[in-house]
Amino acid sequence: MKKFLLMALLSITTVAFAAAPIDVNYSDGIYHIVLSGDKIKKQIQFVSSPTLITNREAHNKSGSLLTINAGFFDPKNQKSMSYVVNDSQTVEDPIFNENIMANPVLRQNMSKILNRTEFRVLDCDSKLKYEIAQHNSKVDFLCSIQTSAQGGPQLLPNLRLEEEFFIVKDEEGNVIRESASVLHKTPRTLIGIKNLENAKQEVHIFIVTNEHPMDIYEARDLCASYGLDTAMAFDGGSSTSLNYKKISVVSTEENSTGRGLKSFMIIKKK
């Protein structure tokens, strides 16, 4: 009888202290989301919309547990400026955005733009794992990309501002061009990976709100402070959005339902 009670108590303790697959904390204007465990990898999906819709609309339409904004887009023609893969198929390709091709400055730097950093969920011989890498980076043998979204710049292990055409410097080292307000304090959507023991991984997402805007260097330092191995930014500024249970974050004017967006990271219900 005593042995039975001891086993029951141990079982209860294990349940009480088991890590939730989605853990959300808020402090000082920043939402910190941790995705843990292997099961949730199957629930992550990157999706795009034919027309621009708000994060809340994408959240409700997909019936997801959690939704955040993902890649860059052109609000004028409502086409993506970032690659998106869903169910192993490329659903958004910036090559087909004529506004990029028509811009002489962007066209001259297409190799940098097309190779910006992306977050991937890989299937490696039926085992799922996370990866952050440049778009042109090859996946490991026996691995394939199940779903991914491109954004940028890479934050960790190295900040890639010039390599991904987020800043341009003159011969004297002065910044003469800036994209995505990387040098200014603004809301941001950040995502990173922490590698744990026994090949386990956690995904850390930071929704940096209007209450605590950051430049890209501060964003990098935030990710580093949590011991992340790799990290990157998604689209930020007024695109920064989060919907989870009763939490609804928009980064536009007060009482707004949010900006129309192109692509999203969703966590599907089981």
pLDDT in tens, 85-95: 999 999 999 99
**pTM metric for this prediction:** 0.92
Long-range contacts of 160-166 (CB under 8 A, 24+ apart): 160/117, 161/216, 163/112, 164/112, 164/113, 164/115, 164/116, 164/117, 165/109, 165/112, 165/113, 165/116, 166/216
Mean pLDDT of 251-268: 88
C-alpha to C-alpha distance for 139 and 125, rounded to whole angstroms: 12
Measured at the alpha carbon of residue 242, what is the angle toward residues 79 and 85, in degrees to the nearest 5? 40
What are the residue ranges spanned by the domains of the chain?
A: 19-267
Name residue 265's beta-bridge partners.
46, 68
Mean pLDDT of 59-77: 97
C-alpha to C-alpha distance for 121 and 133, rounded to whole angstroms: 11
Torsion of CA 130, 243, 239, 219, to 10 degrees: -50
Average pLDDT, the chain: 92
pLDDT digits (tens, 9 = 90+) for 153-180: 999 999 999 999 999 999 999 999 999 9
Burial of 167 (0-12, 13-18, 19+ CB in 10 A): middle
pLDDT score of 101: 87
8 A C-beta contact, residue 208 and residue 249? no
Q: For the chain, give me the number of helices (H) and strands (E)?
A: 6, 20
Mean pLDDT of 244-248: 96
Cβ neighbours for 138, distance < 8 A, ≥ 6 positions apart: none
pLDDT digits (tens, 9 = 90+) for 109-158: 999 999 999 999 999 999 999 999 999 999 999 999 999 999 999 999 99
Find tokens 């400026």 and name the residue. 81
